[in-house]
A and B are shown apart, each in its own frame.
Chain A
Amino acid sequence: MTEPTRTPAEKQALRELVVSERRRKQRSRWSLAGASAGAVTSASLLGLVVTAWLRQEHQDVPRAQVLTQHKVIATIRYVRPKPRIKVVKVVRHRAVTPAASVQRVSASLSPAASVPSRTSAVASAPAPAPRVQVQISKPTPAAAPPPPPVSTHAS
């Protein structure tokens, strides 16, 4: 049995399909970096998160939105050629301000917002802005010590 002969166009399409599938698998493994907050500001906090994400996996995405609990808290723009992020707009949200009260930040790509590969044969519409879901955990307060004794008496 002889292998069917592919035309150059078919070979190119198959190659693109393989590349696309490889990228899809990569996206499914995305686990985005966290950041210790400390004294960072809201904007730099978001910058840390999204920079980590884009540097790692997605340098070809020009814009993204950052959400907390489904609320858009920032729009970011990737600035070529260096892998750096410009925070275009930050919407104040109590979950991220004050940032000093934030203990840990992690982020992940929202499944519904996966980005079609630019090499996909079916990608004709403009790519939608991907969305990064940000999880922010606040520090666990230290347990209160026993209070001092007090007394009630005649004033």
Chain B
Amino acid sequence: MSGHHHIHWPRVLGGAANAFAWPVEVGRATEPALRELLARFQARVSRFEPDSDTSRLNDAGGRPIDVGTELRETLAASRWAAELTGGIVDGLVATSLHRAGYAAGGHPPRIDVRTVARPADRLAQPAASTRPSLTVSGDIACVPAGERYDPGGVGKGLIADRALALLRDAGATSALVELSGDLVGFAEEHPWPVSVDPYDDGEPLAEIDLHEGAVATSAITRRAWIDGDGALQHHLRCPRSGEPVFGPWVAVTALAPTCLEAETRSKWAYLTADTAPLVHGGYTTGWDGGITAIGGIPA
């Protein structure tokens, strides 16, 4: 049983979140600020909150609207991710998700991808240059008419990094923040034992000793469903076609200095079926359940 102070949130951007901190008194003293930070992002950035800035932006029909600091920071993080990946990690893929039945307020029935035959490869391409882009100018943001913005993993990565910074600044010597399986932490003494569990079934395929940095997994093992035509659908979409992306893997795990970067690199690697984005190391999990270590880290 760990002696770390543990804080739990049932819902942040569509998933649960946890934070751990040592010394305990630092965790206790920082908890109000952490809860306030996550509550603000949940209220203003989550697309599952009907009154959030994200929902207002998506429902504005192409009109510019005022948005708060939290969404502006998230939009800046999405722009950074798009520039790093050449447009592969794109915040506007929510449009196709929405059309495919992955609507706000609920998830489609989950299926186990291990019971489904591997589809033909279909990799991601950047959005067409003719597609209108999401614009931000000062406090004003505008999503092109007919498009929808999804803060998604980028937003989770950003929040995790911000939350960890609070704990670090408060004097924690060991801390970790986890949002929906993406995590970032540091430890002056004992490293964090991180299980790589792509299927989230309690049977990890690898273990990482995390002293400092972030680990994020992008996978189709959770938010996957069969559509009315019997086709496998999931949330990792091609920015150009809007179709689900299929490659040799069902999951990619990336290591990076920050959670935002780990999340971006794992998604980038999955969408392009390429290990080149995993410059800090990572893992790929194939359709047969086999895991491969990338970048010299232990399998």
Contact = CB atoms under 8 A, between A and B. Distances in A.
Interface of A: 141-155
Contacts, number: 100
A101 to B, nearest CB: 10
A155 B174 contact: no
A150 B207 CA distance: 10
Contacts of B246: none
Interface stretch (B35-43, B45-53, B114-122, B216-224): B216-224
Interface string B1-39: 011101000000001001010110000000000000000
B149 interface: no
Contacts of A149: 193-195
Interface string B150-189: 0001001000000000000000011010111111010111
A155 B197 contact: no
B215 interface: yes
A154 B195 contact: no
A150 B202 CA distance: 11
A139 to B, nearest CB: 11
B196 A151 contact: yes
Contact of B176 (A145, A147, A155): A147
B102 interface: no
Nearest to B254: A152
Nearest to B216: A152
A153 B190 contact: no
A141 to B, nearest CB: 6
Nearest to B196: A152
Nearest to B174: A144
B214 to A, nearest CB: 9
B251 interface: yes
Nearest to A149: B193
A154 B112 CA distance: 12
5 contacts: A141-B23, A144-B187, A145-B190, A151-B181, A155-B219
Given A141-B23, A141-B173, A147-B20, A152 B189 contact: no
Contacts of B197: 151-153
A145 B180 contact: no
Contacts of B225: none
B4 A147 contact: yes
B204 interface: yes
Given A145-B3, A145-B4, A153 B200 contact: yes
A37 B194 CA distance: 40
B244 interface: no
Contact of B183 (A142, A145, A152, A154): A152
Contact of A147 (B2, B15, B156, B180): B2
- Among A141, A149, A152, find the residue whose CB has the most chain B CB atoms closer than 10 A: A152
Smallest CB-CB A-B distances: 7 pairs: A154-B219, A155-B180, A153-B200, A148-B2, A153-B181, A154-B222, A151-B195
A142 B23 contact: yes
A11 B195 CA distance: 88
Contacts of B193: 147, 149-150
